[in-house]
């Protein structure tokens, strides 16, 4: 999450979302969510239909904007398109990176869908947002086996082998893999770890990273520039942009997908 000066009702909304997240996102909880969602047996729809569904959602963890997520999707994609016109897969990642949030429209509380992510199964690092005031109720923090630097993991085991707090990043990554979408590995890392701010913005959890993670980190950082700083109240003309982005969907993740 970008560090901002929050106040009043907006602060309360953001803080309360993280308080719930940091209380209930445990190792056991994450394992359960993988069982519930990673098999992609909840519903079927196209990528663009999912993007349209985001109009029903306002992210309770986001301090920057207070309008539906679909506008942010096109803002992000267009920001990337201007600076990376030769990387159509990167533009598509900008469009779809948040659409795993559709879980919130299918019964998941927002604290299990939105917001910054962090590893479970090892010590909660200090760079996690609201670290000092929101984890008191999380039982993993009191479990000696889970409260060391490595916890249940091996040094340099790689982020592929880490269980992250459950949310829209990991869910969409699982959807991409399940449906055999052809977005390059760099794009899949952007999708899977764009909310992992303690890693890509604060340099934490490097002791768990392998060489592949370090090679992919610059791509995640590059994506983050557009994810954060394309948010504005100047909303894009979505209707005129749809045909172009539909062509990218048809190229990399066509047809009806299972979610």
The pLDDT tens digits of the residues spanning 38-83 come to: 999 999 999 999 999 988 877 766 655 556 667 889 999 999 999 9
Known binding-site positions = 72, 97-98, 168, 194, 227
Total length of the chain: 259
Q: Are 100 and 171 in contact (CB under 8 A)?
A: yes
Q: How is residue 20 written in tokens?
A: 């719930």
Helix axes 88-96, 185-193, angle to 10 degrees: 20
Q: 166 by DSSP, 3-state: which?
A: coil
Tell me, yes or no, whether 210 lies in a domain: yes
Tell me, yes or no, whether 104 lies in a domain: yes
What pLDDT shows up at residue 3?
Answer: 47
Tell me, yes or no, whether 121 lies in a domain: yes
Could you identify the residue written with the tokens 């690092």? 125
Q: Are 109 and 20 in contact (CB under 8 A)?
A: yes
Total number of domains in the chain: 1
Tell me, yes or no, whether 3 lies in a domain: no
Per-residue pLDDT, averaged over 163-178, amounts to 98
pLDDT greater at residue 228 or residue 96: 96
pLDDT tens profile 34-45: 999 999 999 999
Q: What is the pTM of this model?
A: 0.93
Tell me, yes or no, whether 40 lies in a domain: yes
Tell me, yes or no, whether 12 lies in a domain: no
Tell me, yes or no, whether 16 lies in a domain: no
Known binding-site positions for Fe cation = 72, 97-98, 168, 194, 227
Per-residue pLDDT, averaged over 138-143, amounts to 97
Half-sphere exposure of residue 147: CA atoms within 13 angstroms, side-chain side = 8
Using alpha carbons, list the distances in angstroms from residue 62 to 48, 55, 67, 111: 23, 15, 10, 12
Selection from 99, 110, 143 nearest residue 124 by Cα: 143
Instruction: Measure the N-to-C terminal CA separation of the chain; round to a whole number of Å.
Output: 26
Q: Are 238 and 71 in contact (CB under 8 A)?
A: yes
- Domain coverage including residue 103: 23-258
Tell me, yes or no, whether 17 lies in a domain: no
Per-residue pLDDT, averaged over 121-138, amounts to 97
Q: Which helix (H) or strand (E) holds 44?
A: strand 44-46
């Amino acid at each position: 999450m970008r560090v901002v000066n929050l106040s009043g009702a907006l602060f309360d909304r953001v803080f309360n979302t993280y308080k719930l997240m940091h209380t209930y996102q445990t190792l056991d909880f994450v394992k359960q969510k993988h069982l519930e969602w990673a098999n992609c047996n909840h519903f079927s729809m196209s990528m663009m239909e999912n993007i349209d569904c985001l109009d029903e959602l306002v992210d309770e963890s986001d301090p920057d904007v207070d309008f539906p997520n679909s506008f942010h999707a096109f803002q992000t994609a267009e920001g990337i398109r201007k600076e990376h016109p030769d990387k159509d897969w990167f533009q598509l990642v900008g469009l779809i990176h948040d659409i795993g949030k559709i879980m919130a429209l299918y019964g998941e509380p927002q604290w299990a869908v939105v917001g910054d992510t962090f590893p479970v199964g090892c010590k909660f690092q200090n760079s996690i947002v609201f670290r000092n005031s929101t984890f008191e109720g999380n039982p993993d923090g009191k479990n000696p086996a889970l409260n060391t630097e490595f916890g249940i993991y091996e040094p340099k085991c790689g982020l592929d082998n880490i269980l992250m707090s459950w949310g829209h990043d990991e869910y969409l990554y699982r959807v991409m893999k399940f449906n055999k979408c052809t977005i390059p590995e760099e794009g899949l890392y952007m999708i899977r770890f764009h909310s992992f701010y303690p890693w890509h913005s604060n340099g934490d959890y490097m002791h768990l990273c392998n060489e592949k993670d370090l090679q992919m980190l610059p791509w995640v950082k590059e994506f983050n520039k557009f994810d954060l700083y394309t948010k504005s109240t100047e909303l894009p003309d979505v209707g005129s942009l749809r045909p172009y982005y539909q062509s990218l969907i048809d190229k990399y993740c066509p047809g009806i997908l299972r979610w």
